[in-house]
Amino acid sequence: MPPTRVVLDCDTANEVDDQFAIAHALGLPEGTFDVRGVVSVHNTIAHGPGSRDMYQEEAERVVGLCGGGVPCIPGAERPMEHREDLVPSAGLEFLVEETRRGPLTVIATGPATDVAALLLAAPETRESVRVVWLGGFGGKEVYERHKFHELNGRADIVAWRNLFEGRMDLLPVPGWPAPAKILVQAVPFAEDLRALGRPIATYLAEILERWVVEYGRDIDPEGEKILWDVACVAAVADPEAVTVEKTALPTLDAAGSHDYSQPEREVGMVSDLDEGRVISGLMGALGRLPEGSRF
């Protein structure tokens, strides 16, 4: 089988898990992924109107530490304003071009703006595009418990609705319960990262520790961090590490409220994962990355 052609669409530096996901994808065994590029998408809820540019800078840093060779392209700088809003960007143009070259998997770990805009900009390519998106909920019970904590969806509700209603191949990876299992203890995990002797692994250790210091008191009092976005890379690179179940998507209104009595369509959804296998795959990928870097 040829390697899977992949574009990563990330809000890198929103937290620290996008950085782990990018490095994971770039360090996979040869022949697994053909990473075509990394597109940076906004998250205005987290970091305001300048978020896209901030994330673009961080994506370039991470790719450089992984050895470079992969283009980093700025995507949407704001949410969609209405259902037909393309939110033009160089990242959208790049995605359209790549979809027209052949089958493409877009691993989207931030707001769904770019992938929703892709469906509008090039509807003829939807048969050749697979979208793996970190967002949404695993069901009504999970929605009721976590509905105010789903940042990727709330950062662009219009795009969220378009994504759910679109007729492309969609694999949602809801934060709960599966990715939430990828929980690491910051201090010992940072030591394991540094022991790999790779610049990118050392950098990931640094930002992991910094995140816990800055946010840990309010979010993870025992110094733990969930590496949410790594689940999306694992779902594509190592399908046996995740459990996918057919699930009916709910109907969403303009405020993002979910109506589970009005199903939109049925898709495969990641409902569980083997966190030990996922973390092992991540560490193996980091260990394959080069010892030198551009930074």
Average pLDDT over residues 182-200: 96
Same domain membership, residue 151 and residue 269: yes
Give residue-wise pLDDT tens across range 61-115. 999 999 999 999 999 999 999 999 999 999 999 999 999 999 999 999 999 999 9
Residue 90: CATH number of its domain: 3.90.245.10
Structure tokens of 122? 């090039």
- In percent, the amount of the chain with pLDDT more than 70 equals 96
- Residue 35's H or E segment, with its range, is strand 33-40
Same domain membership, residue 152 and residue 32: yes
pLDDT reported for residue 167 = 85
Same domain membership, residue 279 and residue 236: yes
Q: What DSSP character marks residue 240?
A: G
Measure Cα distances from 246 to 60, 175, 176, 269, 289 in Å: 36, 17, 16, 6, 35
pLDDT reported for residue 293 = 54
Same domain membership, residue 155 and residue 56: yes
Does 294 reside within a domain? Answer: no
Range of the domain at 41: 4-180+228-288
- Rounded to the nearest integer, the mean pLDDT of the chain is 94
pLDDT reported for residue 218 = 52
In sequence order, what are the residues at sequence separation of 6 or more whose Cβ sits closer than 8 angstroms to the Cβ of residue 129?
99, 103, 104, 105, 106, 118, 168, 169
Same domain membership, residue 189 and residue 126: no
Residue 119 C-beta-side C-alpha neighbours within 13 Å: 23
Residue 294 has pLDDT above 90, yes or no: no
Task: Please measure the distance between the N-terminal and C-terminal CA atoms of the chain and give it in whole angstroms.
Answer: 34
Does 248 reside within a domain? Answer: yes
Residue 221 has pLDDT above 80, yes or no: no
Q: What DSSP character marks residue 29?
A: P
Label residue 220 by pLDDT band (50, 70, 90): low
φ/ψ of residue 131, rounded to 5:
-110, 125
Give residue-wise pLDDT tens across range 29-48. 999 999 999 999 999 999 99
- Between CA 275 and CA 3 the distance in angstroms is 24
Residue 192 has pLDDT above 90, yes or no: yes
Same domain membership, residue 198 and residue 132: no
Same domain membership, residue 274 and residue 246: yes
Task: Report the domain count for the chain.
Answer: 2
pLDDT reported for residue 172 = 98
**Range list of H helices, 147-215:** 151-154, 157-165, 186-195, 199-215
pLDDT reported for residue 136 = 94
Label residue 222 by pLDDT band (50, 70, 90): low
Residue 219 has pLDDT above 70, yes or no: no
